[in-house]
Chains A and B, each alone.
Chain A
Amino acid sequence: MTSTREAVTSDKTRIVVTGMGMVSPYGAGVVPFLEAIRSGEGAVKEIADFECTNLRCTSGARVPAMAMEKFDNTGTFRRAPRATQYSIIATDEALRQAEHESWAYASERIGVFLGTYRGMTEVSEQIWSKLIDSEPRFVPALLFQETVTNAVASAISIRWGFRGTNYAISSGNSSGFQVLHLAVEALREGRLDAIVAGTFDLFTQANQHDMDDLGMLSATNVSTPFGVKRDGFIMGEGAAVVVLETLANARARGATVLAEIAGLGLAHDAYGFARNHPEGRGLATAMRKALARADVAAAEIDYIGAAANSTVSLDRAEMVAIEAVFGQTAPGVPVSSIKGLTGEAMAASDLFNLIACIGAIRDSFIPLHSASDELDACSLNLAGQDHEQREIRTALANSYSYFGGNAGAALLRVCNN
């Protein structure tokens, strides 16, 4: 696979990850996250930091309280919304790994592309509360400017002085892979030299109420992707970021390459409002596009990071879509969804999934598929506790949601030589 690939593609159009960082329900850092998904440590707990009276679903995978001054003692940072704080912590980790201090890239050639489903809802809620319970004139100006979806991307560009293109994409759960796609194309076309691409998504008490009332959350308080008794998802949250550059540039500066993002596919179910297609046609299209763009055959994929989040219709549709794309090879590919452990962190899940796949490729392990009950009858090779470990050279990560936006991302291992 790699020999033909390397023969036909130039290192200037191959896009690689040279840094990653995150804040997840396991706290700050990629290491605790990867350890947890490797060993199968769940993050879903009874929600303690807000009242869940009258709700069926009282569980969530929250980011634990952290001592923020440990990261940065400035007032600007301490006063920033959670979304900004977490994204900055994740970016800092990713940039350190990518050794950004030694970069020779012009600041105009460094972009920041962030995706999010809920954006700055946590801040907007405070604005509405001032507006309704007090007076419009008591809305705090400095807080209002944080309500724009691009507030986080701006904070990152201001903090590090990155003056290239700055995007904030808010189109549902697949916003994470959407920004990766935009970033990969911008780098391939030579419009930028390096991009901080990532996602953030947090949930609030109001979100928990809305989702519970809409019947989307698990009434049994269990996240069990592909499980027979699955009855809805459990919300998770966090922020995650990767640093992307061309393989040529990464090699030229002697950077350690974590993985190549060889292809992304974006599609939409276009089926019904807030309803996914029963056979996941959009997801199947997205997976096929990602594989085609990466020039990798389905049979060459060593691991699938599924998007399944314990929702009856979504998990079923993803199963069918994987079977459609992988055909006879489907039963042989190990599949797992980390959402049994991390909950559904909306757009942040895209990058959680991506980082899990990068970890799997780098450290050759299969993220554990944790499901507490029997698995739905399907031909998928779900990687449970006793699953055989093997070398992972290629992985496909999926993204899916009830708002129909779908994406697939194909990753490859790149040798650092």
Chain B
Amino acid sequence: MRVPVRGPARVCYAPFGHLQSASGQKVNAGAVVISALAALTPIGNGCAEFTRGLREGRDGVRPIAGFDASRHRIQRAAEVTWQAPEDSPYSRATEMALAVTRDAVAEARLTMGRYDPRIGVILASNQAGMYPTAPEYRELSHPYRTTAFEASRTARVLDGAPTATLDLIMTTLGAAGPSLNISTACSAGLHALGMAYQMVQRGEVDAVVIVAVEVLTEAALAGFGVLRALTHGAGPRPFDVSRDGTILGEGAAAMIVEPIYSARYRNAPIHAEIAGYGSSTDAVHMTRPDSAGSVRAMRDALGKTHPDEIDWIKAHGTGTPANDSAEATAIHEVFGARASSIPVTSMKATLGHSLGASGVVEAVGTILSMKGGFVPPTLNVTSVDPACDLDVVAGEARQQAGVNVLANAFGFGGNNASILFRSLN
């Protein structure tokens, strides 16, 4: 990829036209934008299908088909139907990550493949290529594997190491800048966006390729099961008075983050601006959320943007009683009197919870919805919890301009991240 160097390019900002955000604000010449979106989701592969699925309110939750789930307490999840090439020596997760990476690079018109130390990659994933099912774990991992694995499985064993997916992305792209895998449970995706935003802002790289992937694993299914965090119903009911848990999901997504001038220079799409990032820790409890932490993350993401300018909120909204209550409390704290009238949506009922990937997958969904001028519906909600007192977009998509949209992702360990997206004309 060849983009103009940082310094002079800022001076050359004017020839690219007078940029304005959709609300008429003048755009900062140093704006950090998203120039590509790609996704594989339970409701559609590719951005066109994903957008259609969000607008139509498709339900991605189904009985688990990827492995035998009969021993598990909960046997439903939102799986991605995309199939990896059968002769692939790597994991399905890695193949998914490579597929979205290729799509994003093509959309952003990046020429890659040569050694380029100015391109960084940030991967958001907890599991990446680690063995997802008991049969595969038994085949490849000690103590179940009692002899050396077959030579044909070497690539798979290497791919079972925590950082292999990232290495394959770097190698495939020729990206030779910073290579980070952020692994902070369910908030990882938005931290990846925030880190990319900061790296581009300080001119450390020309662009960051963000990749997120998570596949369904038996360990997570069992673990969330024993934590009593999964719904016994057909799907989660975020912010509903009867909500009883989340559901696991799969997903992969990629984005390219770069300065606005380099995107303009290559005539790449400008999907949205990253206008703010907030990160915080509750420091209270490993799994019980505390609203004070999320309040700080949201406020930091808003920065100088007044809460009244926020058009809608993409909530973390897992559908567990504790998360949704704490998130609602935090939204009230940040938005005051307006909290109960700002449209809020959660995509967890549609897409399941893809843990480390969810932040990026849902961010792609958020930007696609902003571009489509709608707020996607929160499925399965029939009666919004009066204690939450939020304007939850339930039933079907709502036509609604989205100039400034706030996205939340909170995770285990009281780890919080929020990102402010802004539409640009």
Q: Which chain A residues have a beta carbon within 8 Å of chain B's beta carbons?
A: 107-108, 112, 117-119, 124-125, 127-128, 130-132, 135-137, 139-141, 144-145, 147-151, 153-155, 157-158, 160-172, 175, 178, 181-182, 185, 189, 205-206, 209-210, 213-214, 266-274, 281-282, 285, 403-405
Contacts and interface: CB of A to CB of B under 8 A. Distances in A.
B176 A164 contact: no
Contact of B180 (A140, A153, A162, A171): A171
A384 B72 CA distance: 58
Contacts, number: 237
Contacts of A172: 162-163, 166-167, 179, 181
A206 B143 contact: yes
B413 A165 contact: no
Interface stretch (B285-293, B334-342, B391-399): B285-293
5 contacts: A136-B72, A155-B286, A171-B180, A270-B173, A405-B179
Contacts of A136: 71-73, 218, 221-222, 225-226
Contacts of A119: 162, 183
Contacts of A140: 226
Most buried by A among B167, B285, B414: B167
A169 B191 CA distance: 11
Interface in B70-92: 71-73
B184 to A, nearest CB: 4
B11 interface: no
B149 A213 contact: yes
Contacts of A271: 171
B152 to A, nearest CB: 14
Nearest to A207: B142
Contacts of B195: 182
Contacts of B126: 148-149
Nearest to A139: B222
B176 A403 contact: no
A165 B281 contact: yes
Contacts of A282: 176
A189 B286 CA distance: 29
B178 A266 contact: yes
Contacts of B179: 171-172, 266, 268, 404-405
B171 A139 contact: no
Most buried by A among B120, B130, B170, B282: B170
Given A131-B222, A268-B170, A112 B178 contact: no
B282 A163 contact: yes
Contact of B115 (A118, A175, A270, A405): A270
Contacts of B221: 136
A285 B198 CA distance: 21
The 4 closest A-B pairs by CB, nearest first: A154-B413, A144-B223, A136-B222, A149-B183
Contact of A166 (B138, B198, B281): B281
Contact of B283 (A135, A162, A206): A162
A212 B372 CA distance: 53
B412 A157 contact: no
Nearest to A121: B162
A97 to B, nearest CB: 22
B357 interface: no
A128 B137 contact: yes
Given A270-B171, A404-B167, A141 B183 contact: no
A170 B121 CA distance: 13
Interface stretch (B24-32, B153-161, B325-333): B153-161
B319 interface: no
B1 to A, nearest CB: 13
A157 B184 CA distance: 13
Contact of B280 (A108, A139, A269): A108
A318 B8 CA distance: 35
